[in-house]
Structure 1
Amino acid sequence: MSAGQAAMPATPAMVSLAALASAAGHGFVEFTDVEKSYDGRTFAVTRMNLNVARGEFLTLLGPSGSGKTTTLNMLAGFERPTHGTITLEGQPVDRLPPYQRNIGMVFQNYALFPHMTVEENVAFPLSVRQVSKADIAARVARALDMVRLQQFGDRRPTQLSGGQQQRVALARALVFQPSLVLMDEPLGALDKKLREHMQLEIKQLHTMLGVTIVYVTHDQSEALTMSDRVAVFNQGAIAQLGSPDDLYNTPQSSFVASFIGENNTLVGVVDRVSGGECRVRLNGGGEITALAIGVTPGSACHVAIRPERLNLTPAPAGGNALPATVDGRIYLGDHLRLLARLANDQVLTVKVGPEATMANGEPVTVSCAPNDCRAFPADAGTGGATPEQGKTT
């Protein structure tokens, strides 16, 4: 589909079909047992199996050094896998040079040619593909119209704002009708307000064009805002792969729970496990009931609780109630972050309305439902996924 053609917007049914195709192993992009080592001893990416459906917006999310950029570079052709295969539309590409993969790239630093005009920058991918001048002019005009920069065609990149330069980079990546667009931290150099605006613009372009996008970021709010699915990387493996809702509400490890969104972590030992729940004795005193995620009696654990799941009202039947003292108030306009220090000296962050009047030193009772607490093995707290956990499709 060209940049100027009217595109069919993505619908929930299309997204659902994409997810089913991916789950069934019929990915538009497929990584099969892919590993990457730069020195032959340590691995930047370990035993990766990953499918990306056609038309999907997949984000690779993780801290620095987790393997997400190496994965993108292997897909782009800038790096070769040490082991395994990568296919695009069913064809192996792991030995093809970048220019033979029909992939558009958008970088954090824009990578625009400063001596060229905006039109010349956008036209460059078409020129190297020996497209006719008449067709180049028409396609460049459509691409600039798509990113709302029609009137800036004769300017140099240095005459544009950061957001405008990023739009030029987007137009250049899309103008030659690539089957896949890769974005490597494209909004990292922008200020917060402009970054949030560009997030919406990129997502709207994705919906309009139906192009497949693989996006790299370390910003978890950006990933939640833009993605159909998110692959959370840690230590060279995928710790969890799922929709933003899945990752936020049903994390499968303490690492994912702490990396995605704001999270409270209580440390303790599992006393007993029954019916999918466990009773945890907190270090320093106190007990809490939580969902049991891979924990066993007698094992050390981390209990994850979202701030918005905590209340300062009486606990429901069967719920948790923890005596605490107000230790601080953080005003954020539409709500307060209330710091509640438990008797064991652990501190919980509780999200409350801005009208809350609790003062520092005031005793409170923090309550929550067991279903809103998730207990994970402590040895997986920040250590990340094992190679088997990383083997995700």
Structure 2
Amino acid sequence: MVSTGQSSSLRSPLAAGARLATGQGDAKFVEFIDVEKSYGNFHAVRRLNLSIGRGEFLTFLGPSGSGKTTTLNMLAGFERPSEGVITLDGKSVDRLPPYERNIGMVFQNYALFPHMSVADNVAFPLSVRKLPRAEIGPRVVRALEMVQLERFKDRKPAQLSGGQQQRVALARALVFQPTLVLMDEPLGALDKKLREHMQIELMQIHQMLGVTIVYVTHDQSEALTMSDRVAIFESGAIDQIGTPDELYNKPATAFVAGFIGENNALDGVVERVVGNQCLVALPTGLKTTAMAIGDIRPGAPVHLTIRPERIGLSGAGADSDNRFQATVDGRIYHGDHQRLLARLASGQILTVKVGPEATMAAGEAIDLCWPISDCRAFPAGAVPDGSSANIGSVS
């Protein structure tokens, strides 16, 4: 893959516009202002307000039907907002057809022309824009060099692997120097190993070109790995937007806490609130102190979340504000770590990440502990379908 230290012959002219653009520091390169999209009585997108910075890699993440792809399609011009305004570089694009928005698109199915060679596929956006033939050739060569496919330029798409076809689609999306590139589940058809390799390649290309990328996926690992920021969609609205670190370590809602990463879940009732912390009574009568997130009041039911790696064994650290007795139910070996299944007195099982050297046997009594800062209390509500939270069972 091309490194960020590649010579200027590769970076120009593909990267020239992007390098100038990123220097402007425009935090509102793309804006959604009170945007809604309805299909009859169904609201696919609800009152969306979002700003995307120039040169940013922003990912839309969420379950099926959450509104992320509809939002991308409105930005691309394939759908028109029912209400609100979408701007690109300060200009409204609501009534511009897709081909006039100067946006590159990469789809999950690649959308390559099977009867055309790789070179002709990449050249297609330049041909429809009626660029001189003398300019098309060098641009195609540079684009294929960028994705390391120059030696395959005469092959047909069917003669390439899935990863190679995806790189052709990426080269075609970048060859005409778009101001913005939209990607809709572009790696979804690839196997795990190739998908992870392509994630690295996409990050390197983004760093090299500085182009603005809006990416749609339902794969949270993909989103956390690649993105500057991630917007979590739920029921047609953004539930939370932030850096991967913010979303993982400081989820603002129970939905985000359950959707991102793995979480243990406990339910209880608030006994008292002091500042940004609350004391919660669990059904067995045990009590734990947690960070109060949202509208938390005494007497109200709450939903607690603690990540498996934040739970320690008693004595493993000084910052152990909450301690509980448990019994080892089993261990799952993962090579670099193990997942300890710990059963509380209530019968609920918590997952605890421990080192590969751990030797606790089934039935052994252990003490669990976790800091207040790593236990978050949300107003009681349903955990989202497909989340990785553990609620009374092992996930």
Displacement of 1:350 after TM fit?
0.5
Match of 2:335 among 318, 333, 338: 333
Question: Secondary structure at the residue paired with 2:304?
Answer: strand
Displacement of 1:275 after TM fit?
2.2
The number of residues matched between the two structures is: 372
Displacement of 1:290 after TM fit?
0.5
Distance 1:253 1:3 in 2: 44
Aligned letter for 2:372? P
Q: Map of 1:1-393 to 2, 5 A cutoff?
A: 4-5=11-12, 22=27, 27-39=28-40, 41-294=41-294, 295-314=296-315, 316=318, 319-379=321-381, 381-382=383-384
Q: Structure 2 length as normaliser, TM-score?
A: 0.91
The one-character-per-residue Cα deviations of 1:167-190 (angstroms, maximum 9, x if unpaired) are: 000000000000000000000000
- After TM superposition, the runs of 4+ consecutive aligned structure 1 residues lying more than 2 A away are 1-4, 313-318, 379-383
Distance 1:91 1:285 in 2: 59
* Structure 2 portions without partners, runs of 5+: 1-7, 386-395
The one-character-per-residue Cα deviations of 1:136-175 (angstroms, maximum 9, x if unpaired) are: 1110000000000010000000100010000000000000
Displacement of 1:97 after TM fit?
0.9
Displacement of 1:380 after TM fit?
6.4
The one-character-per-residue Cα deviations of 1:244-285 (angstroms, maximum 9, x if unpaired) are: 111111110111011111111111111111021111111234
Distance 1:143 1:296 in 2: 58
* Cα separation, partners in 2 of 1:162 and 1:168, compared to 1, 3 Å: same
Distance 1:341 1:4 in 2: 57
Q: Contact between 1:2 and 1:177, CA under 8 Å: does it hold in 2?
A: no
Distance 2:249 2:11 in 1: 39
Aligned letter for 1:83? E
Distance 1:284 1:96 in 2: 60
Of 373-382 and 155-164, deviating more is 373-382
Aligned to 1:391: none
Aligned letter for 2:298? P
Displacement of 1:381 after TM fit?
4.3
Distance 2:297 2:37 in 1: 34
Displacement of 1:42 after TM fit?
2.0
Aligned letter for 1:361? G
Q: Contact between 1:255 and 1:381, CA under 8 Å: does it hold in 2?
A: yes
Distance 1:349 1:268 in 2: 19
Aligned to 1:390: none
Distance 2:187 2:66 in 1: 19
Q: Which has the higher contact order (CA 8 A, sep 6+)?
A: 1
Displacement of 1:316 after TM fit?
3.7
Distance 1:119 1:213 in 2: 24
* Cα separation, partners in 2 of 1:355 and 1:318, compared to 1, 3 Å: closer
Displacement of 1:317 after TM fit?
6.2
Distance 1:109 1:268 in 2: 46
Q: Contact between 1:3 and 1:175, CA under 8 Å: does it hold in 2?
A: no
* Cα separation, partners in 2 of 1:177 and 1:313, compared to 1, 3 Å: same
Distance 1:116 1:299 in 2: 64
Q: Contact between 1:316 and 1:369, CA under 8 Å: does it hold in 2?
A: no
* Cα separation, partners in 2 of 1:98 and 1:317, compared to 1, 3 Å: closer
Q: Structure 1 length as normaliser, TM-score?
A: 0.91
Question: Secondary structure at the residue paired with 1:99?
Answer: helix
Question: Secondary structure at the residue paired with 2:144?
Answer: helix
* Cα separation, partners in 2 of 1:317 and 1:117, compared to 1, 3 Å: closer
The one-character-per-residue Cα deviations of 1:115-141 (angstroms, maximum 9, x if unpaired) are: 110001000000100011111111000
Of 182-191 and 304-313, deviating more is 304-313
Q: Contact between 1:285 and 1:343, CA under 8 Å: does it hold in 2?
A: no
The one-character-per-residue Cα deviations of 1:9-63 (angstroms, maximum 9, x if unpaired) are: x99xx79x95xx53xxxx0000000000111x12010000000000000000001
